[in-house]
Amino acid sequence: MDTNLQHGMDIPQNLGSRARARFVSGLRSYVLNNMASELRQDYEANVEPKWLESEGAQPVNGWEVLKAIRGSEYFKQYSSLRCATQELVWDTVIDSVENNVDSLQENFAKFSADQSQAQGTLSLNPDLEIPRYADAVDVHLMPGNYGGVDAAIEPGAIYDHGLNVFAFGMMGKQLNDIGWSMANFFRLKFPDIQPQRIVDVGCTIGHNTVPWKQTFPDAEVHGIDIAAPCLSYAHARAQSMGISIHFHQGRAESLDFEDASVDVVFSSMLLHELPEDVIDAFFAEAFRVLKPGGVLINMELPPNDSLSPYDAFYLDWDCYYNNEPFYKAFRDQDYTELCATAGFDTERFFDFQAPRYTYMPEEQFIEEMNDELSFDQH
Ligand SMILES: C[S@@+](CC[C@H](N)C(=O)[O-])C[C@H]1O[C@@H](n2cnc3c(N)ncnc32)[C@H](O)[C@@H]1O
């Protein structure tokens, strides 16, 4: 795994910080691959038969699998080690960021002031009320959350480097694979739409916003988030790459755009971090701001009803042990119904698993995309 990122807001890494990041990433990979596969084997060989014997039927959903498995020694070991490695992800990168605050601030000043390569903007709203759900817990065990404590940009750098370690470097050196995959899926699926305005909601550091501008250079691209330090970092990061994005501090539930003025509302890994009423309000806002024929496109985890009880349990793990309080509640919902409640035409609803654009030539992407696999077919 390369611990350096390819943009101007990267921080210098010494041998120690590289070694720590690689160790943590390797350990996480061991837990999520080797141990996870043994966890399933242990469940099938020991846990499920015992449950069947005592209950007279197999577990019918993720919750029952959790009840069956949580006393098992292997599950306890797996969960402890997974929690420890999650905490190590942040500990490791926080050290690197704290050791490089001066260089981070220097680059921030340089890139956010430089309009020669890109003409992006940043608008912060110090009066924005940060909802309690976004403040009360350190989501996915990330200390200080997205807003940090009195920090100007550090949480942005921590998220950037943390995500790289968390994903074993597999999101690319600009952590943009999701953005490229979704933007190109959209381009190929809707060739008749030439988007003029694209809005990424819950954009954090803009890593998946940038590829929308790269895919549709003539469009006006906006990134919205509640977390000021992440947005400030996002702005300098995009400017350093020469990509013009407009970042705004605001809430998904009240988008600052006129009715019918947006072609694409996009979100990535946002919905599972929101309470149900906020998702409803966000979808209603997306419906309001989209032009007729515009598209709301969300990259998310699959719904529980498309998964086996074991797989549902496996994904729900984050809800119980990784400070993701809304993870299960979101995935327990019917996604088509969520869209219908906001006013969207259910005839136009589609779900799909996008191939990874940065991992293959475009011809292969088109071929895989045309397989039209939906969540339910996996
Ligand atoms: C998991 S991160 C999203 C990551 C990013 N979109 C990606 O592709 O990796 C969730 C983001 O949603 C933001 N957020 C939470 N509640 C929000 C709200 N009501 N409106 C806008 N952004 C919100 C958080 O500050 C955080 O940056």
Tens digits of residue pLDDT in 52-82: 999 999 999 999 999 999 999 999 999 999 9
Does 149 have pLDDT greater than 70? Answer: no
Mutate which of 166, 182, 204 for ligand 1 pocket (most atoms within 8 A of beta carbon): 204
Higher pLDDT, 359 or 378: 359
pLDDT band at 3 (very low <50, low <70, confident <90, very high): confident
Q: How many CB atoms lie within 10 A of CB 194?
A: 11
Residue 134 beta carbon below 6 angstroms from any ligand 1 atom? yes
Terminal-residue alpha carbon distance, the chain: 29
pLDDT at 172: 86
Which ligand 1 atom sits closest to the C-alpha of 267? 6
Among 146-155, 159-168, 257-266, 347-356, which stretch is predicted with the lowest mean pLDDT?
146-155
Residue 373: pLDDT band (50, 70, 90) is: low
Whether the predicted pLDDT of 347 surpasses 90:
yes
Does 378 score more than 50 pLDDT?
A: no
- 145 within ligand 1 shell (Cβ under 6 A): no
The per-residue pLDDT for range 189-226, each reduced to its tens digit, is 999 999 999 999 999 999 999 999 999 999 999 999 99
Q: What is the pLDDT of residue 376?
A: 52
Task: Give the integer Cα–Cα distance in Å for 105 and 158.
Answer: 14
Q: What is the mean pLDDT of residues 17-35?
A: 96
Query: How many structural domains is the chain composed of?
Result: 1
For the segment 100-112, the average pLDDT, to the nearest whole number, is 95
pLDDT given for residue 152 in this prediction: 87
Given pLDDT bands bounded at 50, 70 and 90, which one contains residue 150?
Answer: low
**Which among 139, 226, 276 is the best mutation to test ligand 1's pocket, defined by most ligand atoms within 8 Å of the CB?**
226
Give the tens place of pLDDT for each residue, 277-307.
999 999 999 999 999 999 999 999 999 999 9
Show the domain range for 200: 1-378
Quick one: pLDDT at residue 194? 96
User: What's the pTM value of the predicted model, to 2 decimals?
Assistant: 0.96
Q: What is the CATH number of the domain that holds 365?
A: 3.40.50.150
Q: pLDDT at position 211, please?
A: 98
Q: Which atom of ligand 1 is nearest to the CA of 147?
A: 25
Q: How many CB atoms lie within 10 A of CB 250?
A: 20
Average pLDDT on 23-41 reads 97
Give residue 147's pLDDT: 86
For the chain, give the mean pLDDT: 94
- Report, as an integer, the average pLDDT of 132-154: 87
- Residue 227 Cα: closest atom of ligand 1: 25
| Atom of ligand 1 lying closest to residue 251 CA | 20
